[in-house]
Amino acid sequence: MQLRVLEAGDVAAFTALRLGALQECPTAFSSSYEEECDIPLAQRAERMAADRDHAIFGAFDGERLVGTVGLHRESHRKLAHKAVIWGVYVAPSFRQRGVGRLLLERALDHAATMPGLLQVTLGVNTENTAAIALYESLGFETFGVERGFMLVDGVLHDELHMVRTVARLRR
């Protein structure tokens, strides 16, 4: 398994995996397939461009992109001590192989190099017990629950808010 920051040349593979994720797991993401399916590849490639405050990491099995995780530092000065993990997804045929853990560890290692960063946060559907267990095993702690966070097909879903401090990031 190769892990690396995604680049503009990965936009087609990222888009295919992302759209598949939104269809397969609509309650795992706040975005929807309908909102993202028509985003032009050029616009998506521009959004994907890594910089010192933002990166998307990919897991590759050979040439095939099989998992992703995004890391984005908050842009407002008063919030810039925080980064957010987003878009965690592993293709079904690669689950239970440690790919998600590897991706998250890579993103957390990157976060630890960001000057002034004190914490990393994420949100996860309270029904996604496998993801919650993974996040807890990596040192994330719950700091709240947002009831009715998302409405999907007429059903409300709650979101667990989790945080990991920078002290835990540095290994």
Burial class (CB in 10 A: 0-12, 13-18, 19+), 63: exposed
Is the model's pLDDT at 168 over the cut of 60? Answer: no
Domain containing 43: what range?
A: 2-169
- Are 110 and 57 contacting, i.e. CB atoms less than 8 angstroms apart? yes
Q: According to the model, what pLDDT value does residue 101 have? A: 97
Q: How far apart are CA 108 and CA 164, in angstroms?
A: 9
- What's 74's DSSP letter? -
Predicted confidence (pLDDT) per residue in 145-166, tens digit: 999 999 999 999 999 999 998 7
Q: What is the pTM of this model?
A: 0.92
The CA distance from 118 to 167, in Å, is 8
pLDDT in tens, 102-144: 999 999 999 999 999 999 999 999 999 999 999 999 999 999 9
- CATH at residue 145: 3.40.630.30
